[in-house]
Amino acid sequence: MSGIHVATTINGDAVEYVCDPRETLLDVLRNRLGLTGAKEGCGTGDCGACSVTLDGRLVCACLVLGAEAQGREVTTVEGLSIDGALHPLQTQFIAHAALQCGICTPGFLVAAKALLDRNPDPNEQEIRYALAGNLCRCTGYDKIVRAVSAAAKDVRKKQR
Amino acid sequence: MAHDTKFTNQEFKIVGTRPLRPDGVDKVTGRAKYGADAFAPGQLVGVVLRSPHAHAKIKKIDTSKAEKLKGVKAVITSADLPDLTKGDRGMLDTLENCMARGRALYDGHAVAAVAAIDAETARKALKLIKVDYEILPHVTDVDEAMKPGAPIVQPHVRTTGVEPKPTKASNVSQVTEFGHGDVEAGFARADVVIERSYKTEQTHQGYIEPHACLASVGPDGQGELWVTTQGHFTFRTVCATLLGMDIAKLKVTSSEIGGGFGGKTHVWVEPLALALSRKANRPVKLVMTRDEVFRATGPTCSTSIDVKIGATKDGRITAAKATLRYQDGAFPSIWGMLGAMTSWACYDLENVKSIGYDVLVNRPKVAAYRAPSAPMAAFAVESTMDLVAAEIGMDPVDFRIKNAAKEGTRASYGPTYGPIGIGPTLQAAKNHPHMKAPLKKNQGRGMACGFWFNFGGQTCTDLNIGTDGTVSLTVGTVDVGGARASLSLIAAEELGIPYERVKCTIGDTASLGHNDTTEGSRGTFSSGMATIFAARNAIEVLKERAAKTWDIDVADVEWRNGSAVALRAEHGNLNELTLAELAAASPRTGGPIAGHNEVVADGAGVSFATHICDIEVDPETGKTQVIRYTVIQDAGKAIHPDYVEGQFQGAAAQGIGWALNEEYVYGADGRLQNAGFLDYRIPVCSDLPFIDTQILEIPNPNHPYGVRGVGETSIVPPLAAIANAVSNAAGVRMTHIPMSPPRILKAIKTAQRERTAG
């Protein structure tokens, strides 16, 4: 099968690649572009470890084809830091010990960022439902919810 | 030099604080490299062909078409993995589990593997491999497997632990018995005797990172393996043995590990990746799919357990007996034995007996899952404890306090306890505000206790001091949840320097001596101990260098707060020398300054926990919601409390999933029907409340800082605590885990019918 040429924007940079029409965006990111921050935990959209945003919308990169990124904007965990500084979510995840093994962390950060972009002041329940598509097996989610709550406060302070 | 492992009750400066973990930035930026994140020049993609049958004779495997497919570089079957195990049956079982040898023993058992230039080609090649199966009768249920006439899983197995020695094959691989006293006499003396039977279904550790490795073996017999593992040294030994390689010529590097919980203590696909690489003479990357992880790695046992407890009216247990049947999957193991050992460990019993059966079925080979075997036994025992308490009209916490084991108690599994935490965790539960909080309609409260042995084992660390006074600490246990932060704290405490001056790294197998697998909650206990001793060895060197610099006797030098200090009045003119100053001068005073330690870390302190939970049950649908959850556990000493709390919370969450949702569902055909996270549902964020924790610190007398392992114990009480809460909420005793909505609804309906009929 012949490859498809794709021109897209990833983490703000113009990127071009050729991919197989059956190839997922996740495989393109990881195997062709070296962006291994997004992880494959299931390959069926159940675990959220491969969460990225596509034109600002939260998606599982394992359920998007590489070819679908044509002309769109993809943001991965590698694009969360701003001007070389950690995003408040990243800072608070470390400060709250919100990760143990860390394999789910990139997905949680991207999903939490998508939440804060649309709801800068989420309550506990809103955080829990917004992150219900991301599986973590280590933490019991306790410290993750607290970290997101604290980061939301930091983001609001910055925006003021 | 020999070091004293005894607890010394020293005052800590930084141990017990909560600094930021050193691997945090890498893990929040996507830079941390896990099993599937490594690449090698010219690497191939490895994939595995698996049996779709629960039990089948493999009459013939034809790989010729696959081999001819363009882009395929190697195809292997068991013929490429000759038996080099020299009579070691356990090792041969490992080899056979990695690749079927003549018979497929479970749905998902590997039968062949391919390495090709890309995933598409490799998958295409799998379809070209023709396997001629003769389907055999199978058995997947533990009780069915024990019945006479059940299909035999391993014809060579004869039951051990029974007299006379059997001559016929059996699915019961071993029978073990523990206890003391005379249980029949004890039951005869009881005012109340309660006997119940319980079942638990099979669950998986559910780590989010599938098994993954990158293997490279050259024609010179040298190789490297990058792999997500809990024990890279053990992987090296096993892989080298199975492939006939020299141990020193196989370098194994542990990647960052995306969760293990016991499931990454065994090899599964790694020997296949190495064999493919050797045959193709190119690096091979092999990553399991989630479907493969469920079908073909090592979940925990399903079980069937009978418990009998007798007690006097005033709440003293007179006798306790448990019969525990654990399925080990298709290969013999010790999980039933561990269930028997742990079942009564919380209590001080005069007459106690437990009998464990290890049973073979056509399911994947069981691996450890966090405090393996203990949660199921605790479910059965702690449920029955509640029934007895209710029968004699005693508060369930008071009943447990009255019978709790204490220092000097002879444990049901043999040893006599030193200072232990079961009593204190129960007292803390009794005094906890959670116990007094009001409950709403359809809500129930439950509590339960749990025990785990903990483990120490072979450990080796290496501490090197740089000329700028920073310290490189290399350990051989893997970091599954913040260990590098804890071990850095320990090194900094000993040396008297800031935490930030220590960098802890997980060494590969070429950098350190053998380290046992990171299991049994041993990481911080044993590597912590070896780090203390390595630091103390380095301090001896630092003192020698100071003595040399000052030209005085080393006996006159003491190490205080990160500096060498000269003792005695005549040395009063000598200013203390800091670690940084001594390090900077080291090229001129004798070269690099380092401390090493090799130790068998004996004396892992046993650990106990008590959990409290509130559950709401919807009587119309059987749906449950966890309303409140509290974990109380003895940590010995919490080195970094954040990560101790994290272990408590994570273990509780896994227990909650096990209690309420998670279950392997096998069809009549012996195939696993829910090999994915959609149908095997682990708890998500919206399923859980905040999980409160209370850390107790009853020092382990066999560790300089009093550390006990903390990682596992808190998965033990949840099954029982939740079962007690659900039973209290629904008004009917739940005896089958998981308590999924259909099971709860059925129990409620049955009880209603019985009430109406009665």
ipTM of the complex: 0.98
Q: Give the model confidence (pLDDT) of B456-499 as tens digits.
A: 999 999 999 999 999 999 999 999 989 999 999 999 999 999 99
Mean pLDDT over B497-504 rounds to: 98
**pLDDT of res. B1:** 72
On chain A, the residues whose CB falls within 8 A of the CB of B20 are: 94-95
* Statement to judge: residues A72 and A101 lie in one domain: no
On chain A, the residues whose CB falls within 8 A of the CB of B21 are: 94, 97
* Statement to judge: residues A128 and A100 lie in one domain: yes
Q: What is the CATH number of the domain that holds A32?
A: 3.10.20.30
A140 and B CB contact within 8 Å: yes
Mean pLDDT over B10-25 rounds to: 97
Do A36 and B36 make contact, defined as CB atoms within 8 angstroms? yes
Q: Mean pLDDT score of chain B, rounded to an integer?
A: 97
Residue-range definition of the domain harbouring residue A124: 88-159
Residue of A nearest to B121 (CA): A1
**pLDDT of res. B755:** 87
On chain B, the residues whose CB falls within 8 A of the CB of A134 are: 684-685
* Statement to judge: residues A96 and A75 lie in one domain: no
The last residue of a domain, from among A40, A60, A79: A79
Query: What topology is assigned to B435-446+608-758 in CATH?
Result: Aldehyde Oxidoreductase; domain 4 (3.30.365)
On chain B, the residues whose CB falls within 8 A of the CB of A49 are: 208
A93 and B CB contact within 8 Å: yes
* Statement to judge: residues A150 and A95 lie in one domain: yes
State how far the Cα of B589 lies from the Cα of B729, in Å rounded to an integer.
Answer: 72
pTM (two decimals): 0.98
Q: How far is CA B665 from the centre of its chain?
A: 23
Within 13 A of B603's CA, how many CA atoms are on the CB side? 20
Residue of A nearest to B257 (CA): A101
Nearest-neighbour CA in chain B from A17: distance (Å): 17
A47 and B CB contact within 8 Å: yes
Nearest-neighbour CA in chain A from B101: distance (Å): 29
How sure is the predictor about A1, in pLDDT bands with cuts at 50, 70 and 90? low
Nearest-neighbour CA in chain A from B690: distance (Å): 5
SS3 A61: helix
On chain B, the residues whose CB falls within 8 A of the CB of A145 are: 685, 690
Q: Give the model confidence (pLDDT) of B326-376 as tens digits.
A: 999 999 999 999 999 999 999 999 999 999 999 999 999 999 999 999 999
SS3 B417: coil
Cα distances (Å, whole numbers) of residue A52 to A37, A55, A63, B27, B608: 10, 10, 11, 16, 41
Q: Give the model confidence (pLDDT) of A114-133 as tens digits.
A: 999 999 999 999 999 999 99
Nearest-neighbour CA in chain B from A148: distance (Å): 12
Q: How many domains does chain A have?
A: 2
First to last CA, chain B: 74
The last residue of a domain, from among A53, A79, A105: A79
Do B677 and A42 make contact, defined as CB atoms within 8 angstroms? yes
Do B481 and A136 make contact, defined as CB atoms within 8 angstroms? no
Residue of B nearest to A142 (CA): B690
How sure is the predictor about B78, in pLDDT bands with cuts at 50, 70 and 90? very high
User: Which residues have a Cβ under 8 Å from the Cβ of B290 and sit 6 or more positions away?
Assistant: A41, A42, A43, A44, A46, A47, B210, B675, B676, B677
Residue ranges of the alpha helices (H) in B346-406?
A: 374-392, 396-403
* Statement to judge: residues A97 and A146 lie in one domain: yes
A128 and B CB contact within 8 Å: yes
State how far the Cα of B329 lies from the Cα of B141, in Å rounded to an integer.
Answer: 10
Do A97 and B643 make contact, defined as CB atoms within 8 angstroms? yes
Quick one: tokens of B381?
Answer: 């025992």
* Statement to judge: residues A9 and A71 lie in one domain: yes
* Statement to judge: residues A66 and A100 lie in one domain: no
Say if residues B516 and B236 touch (Cβ distance below 8 Å).
no
**pLDDT of res. A82:** 83
User: Which residues have a Cβ under 8 Å from the Cβ of B732 and sit 6 or more positions away?
Assistant: B747, B748, B750, B751
**pLDDT of res. B396:** 98
Do A101 and B480 make contact, defined as CB atoms within 8 angstroms? yes
Q: Give the model confidence (pLDDT) of B103-162 as tens digits.
A: 999 999 999 999 999 999 999 999 999 999 999 999 999 999 999 999 999 999 999 999
Say if residues B39 and B255 touch (Cβ distance below 8 Å).
no
Mean pLDDT over A42-48 rounds to: 98
Q: Give the model confidence (pLDDT) of B687-717 as tens digits.
A: 999 999 999 999 999 999 999 999 999 999 9
* Statement to judge: residues A135 and A103 lie in one domain: yes
Q: What is the CATH number of the domain that holds A142?
A: 1.10.150.120
Mean pLDDT over B674-679 rounds to: 98
* Statement to judge: residues A15 and A50 lie in one domain: yes
Do A143 and B27 make contact, defined as CB atoms within 8 angstroms? no
**pLDDT of res. B113:** 98
Query: What topology is assigned to B456-601 in CATH?
Result: Aldehyde Oxidoreductase; domain 4 (3.30.365)
On chain B, the residues whose CB falls within 8 A of the CB of A37 are: 29-31
The last residue of a domain, from among A25, A55, A79: A79
Interface test with B, best of A103, A110, A113, A127 (most B CBs within 10 A): A103
* Statement to judge: residues A17 and A73 lie in one domain: yes
Residue ranges of the alpha helices (H) in B551-703?
A: 579-589, 641-660
State how far the Cα of B543 lies from the Cα of B647, in Å rounded to an integer.
Answer: 38
Q: How many CB pairs under 8 A join A and B?
A: 181
Residue of B nearest to A22 (CA): B120
- Ranges for all domains in chain B classified under CATH 3.30.365.10: 435-446+608-758, 456-601
* Statement to judge: residues A92 and A139 lie in one domain: yes
Do B642 and A44 make contact, defined as CB atoms within 8 angstroms? no
* Statement to judge: residues A55 and A94 lie in one domain: no
Do A37 and B30 make contact, defined as CB atoms within 8 angstroms? yes
State how far the Cα of B625 lies from the Cα of B623, in Å rounded to an integer.
Answer: 7
Quick one: tokens of B540?
Answer: 């001896």
Q: Give the model confidence (pLDDT) of A63-119 as tens digits.
A: 999 999 999 999 999 999 988 899 999 999 999 999 999 999 999 999 999 999 999
State how far the Cα of B706 lies from the Cα of B622, in Å rounded to an integer.
Answer: 45
A40 and B CB contact within 8 Å: yes
On chain B, the residues whose CB falls within 8 A of the CB of A143 are: 642, 645-646, 649
Q: Give the model confidence (pLDDT) of B261-303 as tens digits.
A: 999 999 999 999 999 999 999 999 999 999 999 999 999 999 9
* Whole-number CA gyration radius for chain A: 16
Residues of chain B above pLDDT 70, percent: 100
Do B20 and A94 make contact, defined as CB atoms within 8 angstroms? yes
Mean pLDDT over B159-185 rounds to: 97
